[in-house]
Amino acid sequence: MKKTELTLRVENVSASFQNGKESVQILKDVSFEVPRGKMLAIVGESGCGKSVTVHSIMQLLPKNGHIDSGKVFFNDGENEVDLFSMTKFSKKMRAIRGGKIGMVFQDPMASLNPTHRIGKQVAENLIEHYKMPKKEAMKRVIDLFKRLGIPDPEQRVKDYPHQFSGGMRQRVMIAISMICNPDLLIADEPTTALDVTIQAQIMDLMKELQEKYNKSIILITHNMGLVAEVADHVAVMYMGRIVEYGTVSDILNHPSHPYTKSLLQSVPVMGLDKNRKLATIRGTTPNPKYYTGGCEFADRCGFAMESCKSTTISNVNLTDNHKVRCLLFENSKEVVAK
Ligand SMILES: Nc1ncnc2c1ncn2[C@@H]1O[C@H](COP(=O)(O)OP(=O)(O)OP(=O)(O)O)[C@@H](O)[C@H]1O
Ligand SMILES: [Mg+2]
- In order along its 338 residues, the chain shows pLDDT tens digits of 555 699 999 999 999 999 999 999 999 999 999 999 999 999 999 999 999 999 999 999 999 999 999 999 999 999 999 999 999 889 999 989 989 999 998 876 677 899 999 999 999 999 998 999 999 999 999 999 998 889 999 999 999 999 998 888 888 999 999 999 999 999 999 887 778 888 888 888 889 889 988 999 999 998 888 899 999 999 999 999 999 999 999 999 999 999 999 888 745 554 455 555 555 566 777 788 888 889 999 988 988 998 998 888 988 999 888 999 999 998 654 443 33
Q: Which ligand lies nearest to the CA atom of residue 45 in the structure?
A: 1
Distances 88 to 94, 99, 177, 218, 329 between C-alpha atoms, Å: 8, 15, 19, 21, 39
Probe residue for ligand 1, chosen from 13, 14, 51 as the CB with the greatest number of ligand atoms within 8 Å:
51
Among residues 254, 194, 258, 186, the alpha carbon closest in space to that of 220 is found at 186
Instruction: Say how many CA atoms lie within 13 Å of 281 toward its Cβ.
Output: 21
Q: How far apart are CA 119 and CA 142, in angstroms?
A: 8
Residue 294 lies in a domain: yes
Residue 331 lies in a domain: yes
Among residues 147, 152, 153, 96, the alpha carbon closest in space to that of 125 is found at 96
Residue 162 lies in a domain: no
**Which residue range forms the structural domain that includes residue 257?**
3-100+180-337
Residue 118 lies in a domain: no
Among residues 212, 139, 215, 144, the alpha carbon closest in space to that of 179 is found at 144
Residue nearest to atom 17 of ligand 1 (CA): 51
- Nearest atom of ligand 1 to the alpha carbon of 62: 1
- Nearest atom of ligand 1 to the alpha carbon of 287: 29
Any atom of ligand 1 within 6 Å of the Cβ of 17: yes
Any atom of ligand 1 within 6 Å of the Cβ of 106: yes
Any atom of ligand 1 within 6 Å of the Cβ of 240: no
Probe residue for ligand 1, chosen from 18, 19, 50 as the CB with the greatest number of ligand atoms within 8 Å:
50
Any atom of ligand 1 within 6 Å of the Cβ of 47: yes
CB-based contacts of 47, cutoff 8 Å, min separation 6? 285
Q: How far apart are CA 257 and CA 336, in angstroms?
A: 11
Q: How far apart are the first and last CA of the chain?
A: 28
CATH code for position 291? 3.40.50.300
pTM for the model: 0.91
Distances 153 to 118, 125, 149, 150 between C-alpha atoms, Å: 10, 18, 9, 6
Residue 146 lies in a domain: no
Residue 122 lies in a domain: no
Looking at the structure of the chain, the number of domains it has is 1
Contact between 119 and 161 (Cβ < 8 Å): no
Among residues 140, 114, 115, the alpha carbon closest in space to that of 126 is found at 140
Residue 286 lies in a domain: yes
Neighbours of ion ligand 2 (CB under 5 A): 51, 106
Residue nearest to atom 8 of ligand 1 (CA): 52
Residue 62 lies in a domain: yes
